[in-house]
Structure 1
Amino acid sequence: MNRIKEIIKEKGYEEVRPNEEILTKLGIKINTWTKWVEKRQDPSLTQLPVIADFLQVSVGELIQEPNPVKS
């Protein structure tokens, strides 16, 4: 469901680790963030706006797969 890892790569980052303020807003620990990035677990719908803001994307971009380019 989430595209956290893809968005991090699209932005040209090796890795993005949230600071304590973001973790507190999300109510999670860093290991949960890692599970989200690795798609072993998905964030809740209420957490998506905080993640989107942190990654500077829309919630839609965070959860929708991009349309494939047709040739």
Structure 2
Amino acid sequence: MSLDIHDPETERLVQTLAARRGLSSEEAIKLAVGNELRREAQTPSLWERIRPIREGIASSPSTGLAADKAFYDQISGDA
């Protein structure tokens, strides 16, 4: 597959990175994409990021009370 970049901003960014690092455009693209893929792989999933919230909810004691659908319908305007 060959890349043919027509976006001036993308070209500018690639050239800036290439100049700063002393790389060719191809090497700069490879570096940038590789770094982004590694960063993404290291970012915890949403499920992992909300783990403390889920654990906090799970650790709350049950009241033993059943949810009152009529009450929830009334406060949400569905009644």
TM-score when scaled to structure 2? 0.23
Determine which structure has more spread, i.e. the larger CA radius of gyration: 2
Higher RCO (Cα < 8 Å, 6 or more apart): 1
Higher helix share: 2
TM-score when scaled to structure 1? 0.26
